[in-house]
Amino acid sequence: MKRWKIFLGRGGTVLIAIGLALLLVSLIPSAQVGSFTVSGWIIFPKRFETSFEGVLTPQQGLQVTITANDTLTVYILEVRAYTLYEWINEHHPEKEMTFDFNVTNLEEFLETNPDKIGWQKEMREGKIEYVPTKVTNATLVFSNPSSNYIRVDYEGSMISLVAPGTKVRNLAQWTIPIGFVLTLPWLTQLWKEKTTHRSAQNR
């Protein structure tokens, strides 16, 4: 048998093995580690509020289900809430530090530090699942840019996972077929050799 066929074939079988491992990893479900529920939280007009704060890793993400009576901008910032407050206080020393800040201050912070936005979406209701690609602080921020009071209910939990499921599954979906394609000439050759061997034995 030609060496290149064996080489490609074994490369293919290795890719299939890796793909199967990735597929298996992607099938391991995530586990909920600690949860929190807030209901009837009012976000004032043109204000933002910070909520959950913690350390996230590529194996420990955040899952939040939100229901509001109007559209909010939800952010997951890769900073501690304190860092955000401190930045606002430094840049707006005339204002006292409180727990509800003006939306424009938040926007200023985000314009200056766009790399700190881990996730961002305008939403009324829905589910957020955020898993960072590094070890990072994370703060959940609700911003109300409208002129109305918005009532928010949300449930959240930390999720513990082995690997980013979608990413790993996508990789597996590529590596397994590529592996099969590479293995085909080798398998065909093996099958031919086996058939020839059998017919020679039958004679």
Partner 1 sequence: MGKGKPFLEVFASALHEDYRFPILEIFAFLYALGTFVFASFGPAMSPQAVSSEAIAYTLTTSLLGLPLFIFIILIFKNVAYGLGNDLEKGIIQTYFSYPLKRRGILTAKLLSALGIALIIFLAIQISALYVLAPDIVSPYLGTVLLTYAASLSFPFLIAGIMLLVTLALRRGGLALVIGIVLYFAMGIISSIVMFISYATDSPLALKIISVISPNTVLAQYYSYGPFGSELWTPTFSEVLLYIGASYVIVAFLFFLGYLYFSRRLGL
Q: In the complex, which residues of this chain contact partner 1 (CB under 8 A)?
A: 3, 10, 13-14, 16-18, 20-22, 24-25, 54-55, 57-60, 80, 132-137, 162-164, 167-168, 171
163-169, long-range: CB < 8 A, 24+ apart: 163/25, 163/26, 163/28, 163/58, 163/59, 164/58, 164/131, 165/26, 165/30, 166/26, 168/22, 168/23, 168/25, 168/26, 169/22, 169/23, 169/26
What is the rounded CA–CA span in Å between residue 2 and residue 109?
63
The gap from C-alpha 184 to its chain's centroid, in whole angstroms, comes to 35
Residue with tokens 């293919």: 12
State which residue, 67 or 136, has the beta carbon closest to partner 1: 136
Q: Which secondary structure element, helix H or strand E, spans residue 113, and what is its range?
A: none
Least distance from partner 1 to the Cβ atom of residue 3, Å: 6
Least distance from partner 1 to the Cβ atom of residue 24, Å: 6
Least distance from partner 1 to the Cβ atom of residue 7, Å: 9
Residue with tokens 């479900």: 29
State which residue, 134 or 198, has the beta carbon closest to partner 1: 134
Least distance from partner 1 to the Cβ atom of residue 182, Å: 13
Which two three-digit tokens encode residue 130? 């955020």
State which residue, 123 or 178, has the beta carbon closest to partner 1: 178
Distances (CA, A) of 122 to 38, 45, 102: 19, 15, 17
Residue type, 94: E
* Closest residue by Cα to residue 74 from 147, 125, 108, 32: 125
State which residue, 96 or 115, has the beta carbon closest to partner 1: 115
State which residue, 105 or 175, has the beta carbon closest to partner 1: 175
Least distance from partner 1 to the Cβ atom of residue 28, Å: 8
State which residue, 66 or 156, has the beta carbon closest to partner 1: 156
Least distance from partner 1 to the Cβ atom of residue 55, Å: 5
